Amino acid sequence: MDELKIINFLDAFITNALSVIIPLLLVARGVDVIQIGLVVSISPVIFVVSRSIFAAMSDQVGVRKIFIVNGAMNVVSLLIYSVASGPFLFSVGKMFEGARSGAMWAVNRTAVFMRRSGRKVVDEMSRTQAIRTGAAAMGIMTAGVLLNNYPFDAAIVFFIILSVVLFSVSFLVEGTGRSKVKVKEIFGQLDFRKTSDLLKRTSLIMMPFSSATAVPLSLVFPLFLKSIGYDYWLIGVAIALYYIVSALTTFVLMRMKWRERAMWVGAVLFLAGGMLLTVLDGKWAVPLIGIMGIGDGMATPLWEVLVFNSVKRRKDMSSEIALLHTPSNLSNAVGLIAAGVLVAQWGYGIVFLLCGVLFVLSFYWSFELLRESQYRL
């Protein structure tokens, strides 16, 4: 049994279902869009801090214990959501959700790196991401079905049960390391000044790259579709389609021995889909979101190449990967808050346009950096 793939499947299934359920639940509780943006933005901030700490810890005690922490916090965050009634408790839930995501991504790539070597790492991580994307689609569709037929509380209970399963599977992960953490070493491992110039430049490029997809998926898609009259089932179908075509696109692109020219098509598709979403009639929303998913799927191998290229042959790999993603996750928090304000003031169109432009610019900067570092795609 490949416990790592099972953990990734369940983690993505639960995480992305909640990315739809929580904003819609806040709307149902009468919370305005700016407050929703603030609540949702808490998770990326906590993610940054917790991921860095867990990554440094995993370089000392191994990956197994951190996977177990991820499973435990999954249960805790869902239990909090089950009793939350206002923005404060939802914010506490988002704090735990951010911490458990931090634990997951502190060790997820490292666990893959430990099993593979060389360019096979990129292929294996791209496959893992495709599995996560497919699981995300299934989770979101499940959320849509549950919300369409049962109250929010019943949906939360269903995902609590799944999170207990995830927690149990986490104990099957193999891992070795010290039994205790040396706190002094953690601060040395998380010193951004000691990282390479390549990692620093890569982390800056990943900021707009990450925000361009995080803002629609974590906030804007569900609220926009609700505003144009979609019911919960159709919202789930639309966002699930994004993930399905994204996963399929990644698999196809890898089999085609993807190249830069083909990937540029994805950047243009993402931009075009976002620009047309608020211009065309609402019946076109589902296929246009699917087109954006194709663009995102073409970007997955590029993202993994950026990660691999910047941390290969580094000693404290988990810590380096965490530091690499720190700026992009902070930018996600800022982007979510800004998106809430922009939607309230000028509507959804400006947010989709900005995300599309950032996505295209990220492709250009990524290819320029890879050429300078002499990495052959």
Task: Note whether 37 and 337 are within 8 A (CB).
Answer: yes
**Percent of the chain residues topping a pLDDT of 70:** 88
With a CB cutoff of 8 Å and minimum separation 6, the contacts of 2 are none
Q: Which domains does the chain have, with CATH numbers?
A: 3-171+194-372 (1.20.1250.20)
91-135 pLDDT, tens digit per residue, is: 999 999 999 988 998 888 777 777 665 556 667 777 888 888 889
Q: 254 pLDDT exceeds 80? A: no
Q: How far is CA 263 from CA 84, 267, 281, 287, 302, in A?
A: 42, 7, 28, 20, 8
Predicted pLDDT at 263: 80
21-35, 96-110, 189-203: the lowest-pLDDT one: 189-203
Predicted pLDDT at 176: 63
Predicted pLDDT at 264: 87
Confidence of residue 327 (pLDDT cuts 50, 70, 90): confident
Predicted pLDDT at 115: 66
Burial label for 349, CB within 10 Å (0-12, 13-18, 19+), is middle
Predicted pLDDT at 257: 64
59-82 pLDDT, tens digit per residue, is: 777 788 889 999 999 999 999 999
Predicted pLDDT at 345: 93
As a whole number, mean pLDDT of residues 235-262 equals 81
147-160 pLDDT, tens digit per residue, is: 989 999 999 999 99
Q: 363 pLDDT exceeds 80? A: yes
174-194 pLDDT, tens digit per residue, is: 766 555 555 555 555 555 566
Q: Is the pTM of this model over 0.85?
A: no
Predicted pLDDT at 375: 61
